[in-house]
Structure 1
Amino acid sequence: MRILETLDAQRGHLFPWVPVALAAGIGFYFTLTAEPGAVIWAGVTGLCGLFLLLSWVVGPRAGPLFVLLFLIGAGGLLAGARTMLVAEPVLKYRFYGAVEGRIIAIDRSFSDVPRLTLDQVWMERFAPDETPARVRVSLHGNQGFFDAEPGLRVAMTAHLSPPPAPSEPGGFNFQRRAWFEKLGAVGYTRSPALAMAPASEGRAGLAIHRLRMAISGAIRQHMPGDEGAFASAILTGDRSAMSQPTLQALRDANLAHLLAISGLHMGLLTAFVFAALRTGLSLIPPLALRVPVKKLAAVFALCCAAFYLALSGGNIATQRAFIMVAVMLVAVLFDRRAITVRAVAIAALIVLLMQPESVTEPGFQMSFSATTALVAVFGALRDWPENWWRMPRWAQPVLAVVVSSLVAGGATAPFGAAHFNQVAQYGLFANLLTVPLMGILVIPAAVVAGLLAPFGVAGIALDVMRLGIGWILFVAEYVAGLDGSTWPVPAPSDWVLPIFTIGALWLILWQGRWRLLGAVPASLAFVLWAQTSRPQLLISDNGSLMGLMTEQGRVLSKGKGAGFSAQNWLENDGDVATQQQAFGRDGFGGGKGYLIAEVMGQRFIHLSGRGWAGKLPEACAQGWVVMARKLDIPAPEGCQLLDQRALSKTGSIAVFKGPDGPIITKAKTLAGDRPWTQ
């Protein structure tokens, strides 16, 4: 058969498809609207066993087809097993009371206040088997009665809620992320949080944390301002001193990835250490002739990468970067080519086996899309004639940087635009001016500073590092200030990214002229994206906010409050307006306390403020009634009511234009009956 002949021609190039098939099964599991039962899981397990048996029976030509089916099924089984393994109690209702726990993570909240993640949780009136394994609490009000550090046991009176459902149907699913982080409740406290037991008793990475904070403090003392904050962020993962305007400028210039400790930093650091050590040892003839200096350099670089992983705080993105670097360095130890598509596939496979839920995360998608594209492009260039460059040798690295920025930027742009709803129009320009400096100056200076620190002369290297960081921040502010620096884009439908990914991977991984077929689904994805329609009306999950789409953009029912939902709606629309600006637009009928939104003849009336009870009968006669309260009086007969009680069952609501009238979509219906939604 022609299909089998075509498949046979791919022999030797099929391994990179292993993580792709596994990810397809994992992705399919997360699209389900109901959790499979024991019978279904048993059936899938049986089918996987059958496919594996058939792959052996039919022989090497048709066998890969059955291996592919086995891997897809195994991906679903892996995701299901992971879901069960991380299962922990989740808060079922709003809670106010005493909370005690051990700090395991410290960061900042959406409102830019300190936020603590606690484990070993005790909650007032909760039995141990009903208490969430972890809770996250933002510290508002009068705080500062202790220095937060991992291991410290703290107590507070907190307002906690279950992890929130999507702010709109089909939107970002924080409930699912919280489930896999074992995070059973989130909330805040306005009363002082107090220390109950010293961090030395709780441990929880205390020694590493204190080392990180000591290094971060020493850097900022020598290098004050945003330069020192930037240096601390890329070396220790501590972003606490970064100013919000600088962070926003880095995002708008598409340079935020320079701040996050990910593949770029891990790769640059290990590459510098590996190259420096290998070169230095090679200059000692007696040693170079007796010791495999290349392998020795690889082992030392791997140790440095592991130390950098611990020092940075070990977040998920850094873990992925470490795995990719480790796979490549281990390949050097076994005399294999380090930078290959196969090595990237092994790294992806390890990440998926450890954390299958990563396939839904933007970090995973952007990291591996950039790495795969870079390896594929430079692998193809390596096979070209040596004289194709036709330029001086000194200029070739410059061209390599340009090509790298183009390839990495092009590979990650669709994923970044889909998840963050904007494209940095001058991002390539900004990256060309800054990324080379990270590799040539900033990271090498950081490594040298670490080597000189025990001798008390790290300041020399930090001063060099400051020059590079100063330039990066200057470029970020300049580019972010240009007219049209960011181009907002609407959120795509759920199928856009999977279709684009299939096409892009086919173009990269398939061998032969048929690889060009990958351009078809990749192009189709952008066509579908361009045709994406946004809801005509959005209603928040507590009824406090409505957003009506108009020719000017979405108009919001209030200028303050429900800020998280308002920001998400506007971002998903591809709208750069603030909540206050969207509130000032025309679109709602009625007046204050009685706003009317109309979609294809169907009216939705938002009741608020005093006197709502007297307006209820008239509103019910006109259409759906939306209220940010639980109705405690009998509703008029036949009233279509969306109060807090009803919305707690439906979640946020989206209203679309349909062929026969408005179509109402509910967030909880789309999210389905999954462990993280119950």
Structure 2
Amino acid sequence: MTESVAITSTVTERAPLSSQVRQWGSLRDLSSPTCWENALAARPFERMSWLAVAMLGGIYAWFALPGPGEWILFIGLSGIVAGGSMILFDPGRFALVRNAIMAMALAAAAGLVLVWVRSELVGTPGIGRPMAGSFAFRIVERQDAVGNEEKTRLTVVVSGAMQSPMVARINLPERFDDQALVPGTIASARLRLIPPARAVAPGAYDPARVAWFEGIAATGSVLSRPAIAAGSSIAEKKGMRERLAEQVRTRMAEAGSEPSVAAMAGTLITGNRAGIAKSDAQAMRDAGLAHLLSISGLHVAAVISITWLIAMRSLALIPWVALRVPLPLMASLLAALSGLGYTLLTGAALPTIRSCIAAMLVLTALALGRQALSMRLIAVAAIAVLLFWPEAAISPSFQLSFAAVMAIVAVQNAPPVTRFRERLRGSGLVGRAAGWLALLFITGVVIELSLLPLVLFHFHRSGIYGAFVNLVAIPLTTIAIMPLLALALVTDLIGLGSPAWWLATQSISGVLELARFAAAAPGSARFSPVVPVSTVGLIAMGAFWIALWSGRGRMLGAFPVVLGGVMLATNSAPDLMVSGDGRHLALSGPNGLTFMLRGGDSFSGRALAELSGIAPERVNSETRSLQDWPGARCNEDFCALTAGRPDRPVNLLVALGPGRTYADSLKNACEQSDVVVAESPLSRSCQPRWLKLDGRELSRRGGATIDFSTRAVRHVRPGGDRHGW
């Protein structure tokens, strides 16, 4: 009580400053330290959030800068900025400006140091070369197939492959699968192991970077039926998570659900995604509901919220407890235990752990009687996560979850929304219901717009109707589906779970049918070519300013957001993309067509088509063979063609395979070409006028994207890059 009074008095004392002092004058005044001192003084509760932003900036700088020399230079410059602020600004007149600059500079340096130390501690180099043979291994984790065409994945500790055991992630074909191959099993089999793959091209998912931080030294596949070590049995190895997932799927099937509905129920309870049809999984993604199939903040928040509400209502009915125990504290403790249990039950994946940490902070605020959700609390949660997993800053789950929560808080705390909620209190039941529905829809639209750049950046595909679909799906999941599944499991203990299972079946079926309807609607998904980091960074800078600042000055963030939005809307695919193995190529052509070498049937081909902004189902209609390029001159070994603008033509020479050619003819062809692409190393006599992307260069620097008009070339591994992966 004393603390809340002190806080209120502090805000009251500072309030006249914001009303009497002109915080924002002309744009010229923004360079005045006095202007910033007044602005910071009027915002005592908004300053801490920027420390999390500065820490994120330092982490991103570590990934963007090539090596230790540049990292040390960044740390040194941060120290100079921090020290310079102490020298340049008078501690009496500009104490807040001085402290803000110093704190943000040190936070940025701390972010870079954190991820650097984390990389040194957990970073695992991949094996130097592919290998195959018989190896013994112990299964650490099993990820069952999701969809009809995917394989089961095993994370194993392999013995005998290197001088010391190493962790590998291997695919298990269905013909070699066995129910006994569960975590803890020791087995042996013929394995093919290869180094973790690099990204196919710049902007694509980078398995090698993820494997580096996860301690994965190799990937590969099982080549023979594993021989289970003596003494291992299903009864000993199968854990509660697997047994519970089977029980949920069985009971849902008995209630009349289709396989995908039963599998979705198992996913919501245990995180086990086995059994979801590939078409239904894609429909959920196109409808903007993919987050329901990945245990994260929504599910953890639902479990904790339900537990907290039940605990508060139940404990309030017991007079002895209600009069002697702080109910918010007791309810928060029970909710925290339920959240921890749910996190462990669903496999304790990193995104779930991060969501659980953030939820624990919210519960702490509730137990102390503070505001449950605020930008300050979000910043504390982000800093807490980054202290342990700084590499999470570049992961889609971290970015999407925190962006969504920030959008919710920013909308709900906006002055127009606050005034609207005040007016709703005097309305009738129908008016309040309509008003809250409108607020829910507006919040959903803002969330979708906030997540759109990140979704397109990471996945190149985004559902258009997500705001409308989530308006129904999220409340249905949190208010009906999750409680019904919990009720069904509890009542099953006394044999009365059938009604709850049937209701859960109908609810999940409704969500799936909604996803199918939205995914089948015209223009349900938007596809985007590879999005430059600069575009997303510009939008993020403006979004941070709008979300974390207040007053008229926050609208300055609209300029970078609008500019970034225009860049996103007008974004186009690079003129030429070459995969890291040199076997696949995508060349942007006239009429929106993409000309590909070897098509989009392979993994690399599909990845290049995706980076070109082509939907998988439209690859055949929107792509053509490279030999069909207008004016292409091809033989058995090479294709020569002219691309680019008519006033700045670019002559390409593309090898059609690893076949041999006569050195003299190749030398002449290279001299007449601007760019040469080949999967095999070419002789040094091949010297094109501009760029040579042969097997030697591609194996060293990875796949590439090329812009003909600016002559800009980007590689997966930039020149001088010394990151471990």
Q: Secondary structure at the match of 1:136?
A: strand
Which residue does 2:316 correspond to in 1? 282
Which of 481, 486, 491 is equivalent to 2:525?
486
The answer to whether the Cα contact below 8 Å between 1:54 and 1:63 also exists between their aligned partners in 2 is: no
Q: Are 2:66 and 1:24 equivalent residues in the alignment?
A: no
Which residue does 1:608 correspond to in 2? 657
TM-score by length of 2: 0.84
The answer to whether the Cα contact below 8 Å between 2:126 and 2:217 also exists between their aligned partners in 1 is: yes
Q: RMSD of the TM alignment (CA)?
A: 3.2
Which residue does 2:337 correspond to in 1? 303
- Find the aligned partners of 2:327 and 2:686 in 1 and give their Cα distance: 84
Which of 48, 53, 58 is equivalent to 1:15?
48
Q: Are 2:191 and 1:191 equivalent residues in the alignment?
A: no
- Find the aligned partners of 1:38 and 1:387 in 2 and give their Cα distance: 53
- Report how far residue 45 of structure 1 moved: 8.7
Which of 507, 513, 516 is equivalent to 1:474?
513
Which residue does 1:667 correspond to in 2? 716
Of residues 385-394 and 74-83 in structure 1, the stretch that sits farther from structure 2 once superposed is 385-394
Which of 281, 286, 297 is equivalent to 1:263?
297
- Report how far residue 314 of structure 1 moved: 1.5
Distance 1:513 1:606, change over 3 A: same
- Report how far residue 18 of structure 1 moved: 1.8
Of residues 407-416 and 305-314 in structure 1, the stretch that sits farther from structure 2 once superposed is 407-416
Which of 99, 104, 123 is equivalent to 1:68?
104
- Find the aligned partners of 1:219 and 1:641 in 2 and give their Cα distance: 60
Of residues 293-302 and 596-605 in structure 1, the stretch that sits farther from structure 2 once superposed is 596-605
Which of 182, 186, 194 is equivalent to 2:215?
182
Which residue does 1:117 correspond to in 2? 155
- Find the aligned partners of 1:2 and 1:56 in 2 and give their Cα distance: 13
Amino acid paired to 1:409: E
Distance 1:289 1:458, change over 3 A: same
Which residue does 1:139 correspond to in 2? 172
Of residues 285-294 and 456-465 in structure 1, the stretch that sits farther from structure 2 once superposed is 285-294
The answer to whether the Cα contact below 8 Å between 1:253 and 1:427 also exists between their aligned partners in 2 is: yes
- Find the aligned partners of 1:653 and 1:258 in 2 and give their Cα distance: 35
Distance 1:37 1:603, change over 3 A: closer
Q: Are 2:642 and 1:598 equivalent residues in the alignment?
A: yes
- Find the aligned partners of 2:686 and 2:242 in 1 and give their Cα distance: 64
- Where do residues 145-224 of structure 1 align in structure 2 (5 Å cutoff)? 145-196=178-229, 207-223=239-255, 224=257
- Find the aligned partners of 1:262 and 1:51 in 2 and give their Cα distance: 42
The answer to whether the Cα contact below 8 Å between 1:208 and 1:310 also exists between their aligned partners in 2 is: no
- Report how far residue 664 of structure 1 moved: 4.2
Distance 1:385 1:28, change over 3 A: same
Which residue does 1:81 correspond to in 2? 117
Query: Once the two structures are aligned, what percentage of the paired residues are identical?
Result: 26
The answer to whether the Cα contact below 8 Å between 2:453 and 2:568 also exists between their aligned partners in 1 is: no
Which residue does 1:628 correspond to in 2? 679
- Where do residues 25-40 of structure 1 align in structure 2 (5 Å cutoff)? 25-36=58-69, 40=73
Summarize deviations over 1:305-334 as a string: whole Å, max 9, x none: 111111111122212221121111111222
- Find the aligned partners of 1:533 and 1:395 in 2 and give their Cα distance: 41
Summarize deviations over 1:461-493 as a string: whole Å, max 9, x none: 221111110111111111111121112122221
- Find the aligned partners of 2:308 and 2:292 in 1 and give their Cα distance: 21
- Find the aligned partners of 1:24 and 1:64 in 2 and give their Cα distance: 15
Q: Are 2:652 and 1:652 equivalent residues in the alignment?
A: no
- Where do residues 496-507 of structure 1 align in structure 2 (5 Å cutoff)? 496-507=535-546
Of residues 41-50 and 382-391 in structure 1, the stretch that sits farther from structure 2 once superposed is 41-50
Which of 387, 402, 423 is equivalent to 1:368?
402
Summarize deviations over 1:16-55 as a string: whole Å, max 9, x none: 2221111111111111122348965884796598589879
Of residues 464-473 and 417-426 in structure 1, the stretch that sits farther from structure 2 once superposed is 417-426
- Report how far residue 564 of structure 1 moved: 2.2
- Report how far residue 289 of structure 1 moved: 2.5
Of residues 1-10 and 246-255 in structure 1, the stretch that sits farther from structure 2 once superposed is 1-10
Q: Secondary structure at the match of 1:346?
A: helix
Which of 214, 230, 233 is equivalent to 2:264?
230
Amino acid paired to 1:493: P
- Report how far residue 228 of structure 1 moved: 0.7
Amino acid paired to 1:74: A
Distance 1:613 1:212, change over 3 A: farther
Which residue does 1:587 correspond to in 2? 629
Q: Secondary structure at the match of 2:359?
A: helix
Which residue does 2:587 correspond to in 1? 548
Distance 1:339 1:144, change over 3 A: same
- Find the aligned partners of 1:571 and 1:241 in 2 and give their Cα distance: 25
Distance 1:49 1:558, change over 3 A: same
The answer to whether the Cα contact below 8 Å between 2:264 and 2:293 also exists between their aligned partners in 1 is: yes
Distance 1:136 1:288, change over 3 A: same
- Find the aligned partners of 1:501 and 1:493 in 2 and give their Cα distance: 13
- Find the aligned partners of 2:291 and 2:676 in 1 and give their Cα distance: 45
Q: Are 2:163 and 1:127 equivalent residues in the alignment?
A: yes
Summarize deviations over 1:109-168 as a string: whole Å, max 9, x none: 89501111113x2243x222xx6x321111236302453211112322222222222211
Q: Secondary structure at the match of 1:538?
A: strand
TM-score by length of 1: 0.90
Q: Secondary structure at the match of 1:104?
A: strand
- Report how far residue 644 of structure 1 moved: 2.9
Q: Are 2:382 and 1:344 equivalent residues in the alignment?
A: no
Summarize deviations over 1:269-296 as a string: whole Å, max 9, x none: 2212211221122233343233322322
- Find the aligned partners of 1:646 and 1:434 in 2 and give their Cα distance: 49
Q: Secondary structure at the match of 1:668?
A: coil
Of residues 143-152 and 208-217 in structure 1, the stretch that sits farther from structure 2 once superposed is 208-217
- Report how far residue 512 of structure 1 moved: 2.1
Distance 1:143 1:515, change over 3 A: same
- Report how far residue 612 of structure 1 moved: 5.3
Summarize deviations over 1:90-126 as a string: whole Å, max 9, x none: 212222223332222222489501111113x2243x2
Of residues 100-109 and 179-188 in structure 1, the stretch that sits farther from structure 2 once superposed is 100-109
Which of 129, 134, 152 is equivalent to 1:98?
134
Q: Secondary structure at the match of 2:373?
A: coil
Distance 1:472 1:531, change over 3 A: closer
The answer to whether the Cα contact below 8 Å between 1:359 and 1:365 also exists between their aligned partners in 2 is: yes
- Find the aligned partners of 1:597 and 1:199 in 2 and give their Cα distance: 61
Of residues 397-406 and 10-19 in structure 1, the stretch that sits farther from structure 2 once superposed is 397-406
The answer to whether the Cα contact below 8 Å between 2:252 and 2:505 also exists between their aligned partners in 1 is: no
- Report how far residue 229 of structure 1 moved: 0.7
- Find the aligned partners of 1:56 and 1:278 in 2 and give their Cα distance: 51
Distance 1:89 1:666, change over 3 A: closer
Amino acid paired to 2:91: V
The answer to whether the Cα contact below 8 Å between 2:671 and 2:686 also exists between their aligned partners in 1 is: no
- Find the aligned partners of 1:44 and 1:183 in 2 and give their Cα distance: 34
Distance 1:261 1:602, change over 3 A: same
Alignment size in residue pairs: 665
- Report how far residue 11 of structure 1 moved: 2.3
- Find the aligned partners of 1:400 and 1:304 in 2 and give their Cα distance: 30
- Find the aligned partners of 2:278 and 2:332 in 1 and give their Cα distance: 39
- Find the aligned partners of 1:141 and 1:12 in 2 and give their Cα distance: 56
Distance 1:184 1:45, change over 3 A: farther
Q: Secondary structure at the match of 1:92?
A: coil
Which of 460, 473, 476 is equivalent to 1:434?
473
